[in-house]
Structure 1
């Protein structure tokens, strides 16, 4: 309580001397260090939305397999984890733009569009894994298109740093993720061909 009273007293003293201001002038910081091209920035902003859409689709998958009538906790955990990874990708891109001096305003506008999942029900774990693999392949293609935009800008500005970041970090993770999903789908289909619904049940336990 004494600490709060002390802070209030400090503000009263500052206000009495005219030093307390509710607003300040925008800082006069040179802009020469900001060198990203408009087309590249727009492409990155758009891809943030793609990552968030993928996250929402994975959330829908996780929720589906968490339903009491489905009850596949292994699949649910797999897809909820994938949703978290997609959100992390979006955050990384936002942080990158901020590092390069972009997104000084209208940050919230990047996440106001409709991101409802395209599909909310799956007939089996295999069908969900197929959709997940197709989703990752689509995201990979869009990352490659993003790289192309930032590498072949009309102003002949090759954004080497961003291209290297996307190629080394994002694409590597995409290719590894695609291979993992393809392997999981292959194993699941082999189990189901031999054991039917029991195969999916056993695979779900393995995912846990």
Structure 2
């Protein structure tokens, strides 16, 4: 059985992960409207990963005898002015999610909840990668500039290559 405080943090994280998927779909729609299908693809894959992260948290909470309490999702932003604005928001959001995951880790350590402490380590590693990818995308667009059509199309072609991969914790369960 998991304690009440960790149960709440995990439920809040489920909501944040589903919201992340919703936000990234909003980014996908923006890029699709600009005919930047590689950027759109990158964020579609990102949305799928975030949805999966929510499911991983949900599965874990069920596994340890917690009660999953799905929460309302706020509408994501949808009106953007530039590629750089979207990529900046993506990095800021990943940093927010990292902070939330760190809070879960801190609480698990404080509670001496070794199961949750072990579980959350995968997400800490995942967030390191998520932030690095978001920083790389933002850095690339800053280097290219919003007015270099050829550079943007080259980056768009690179981002189009991203493919969805089932996250390890779900792949291990055959989901």
TM-score (norm 2): 0.84
2:132 to 167, 179, 191: 179
Aligned 8 A contact 1:151 1:160 in 2: yes
Residue 121 of structure 1: how far off its partner (Å): 2.3
**Residue 205 of structure 1: how far off its partner (Å):** 1.9
Distance in 2 of aligned mates of 1:170 and 1:62: 23
The residue that corresponds to 2:58 in the other structure is 94
Please say if 1:149 is aligned against 2:107: yes
Compute the displacement of 1:177 (Å): 1.4
Cα offset for 1:184? 2.1
Q: Distance in 2 between matches of 1:123 and 1:204?
A: 18
Cα pair distance change 1:71/1:47, threshold 3 Å: same
Gaps of 5+ in 1: 1-34
Q: Distance in 2 between matches of 1:37 and 1:64?
A: 41
**Could you give the per-residue CA deviations for residues 34-78 of structure 1, whole angstroms, max 9, x where no partner exists?**
x311111111111110111111100111111112xx111011011
Write the mapping of 1:9-24 to structure 2, written as runs, cut at 5 A.
none
Map 1:1-208 → 2, pairs under 5 A: 35-67=1-33, 70-103=34-67, 107=68, 109-111=69-71, 113-117=72-76, 119-153=77-111, 158-167=112-121, 169-192=122-145, 196-208=148-160
CA displacement, residues 7-27 of structure 1 (integer Å, 9 cap, x when unaligned): xxxxxxxxxxxxxxxxxxxxx
1:149 Cα deviation from its structure 2 partner: 2.0
Q: Residues 156-197 of structure 1: CA distance to partner in whole angstroms, max 9, x if unpaired?
A: xx1111112112x1010111111122122212221227x624
Query: Which residue in the other structure is 1:12 paired with?
Result: none
Structure with more relative contact order (C-alpha pairs < 8 Å, separation 6 or more): 2
RMSD after superposition: 1.6
1:100 CA drift (Å): 1.1
Contact kept, 8 Å, 2:15 with 2:73, in 1: the verdict is no
Unaligned 5+ runs, structure 2? 161-175
- For the residues of structure 2 that align with 1:51 and 1:61, how far apart are their CA atoms? 15
Over 3 Å off, 4+ runs: none
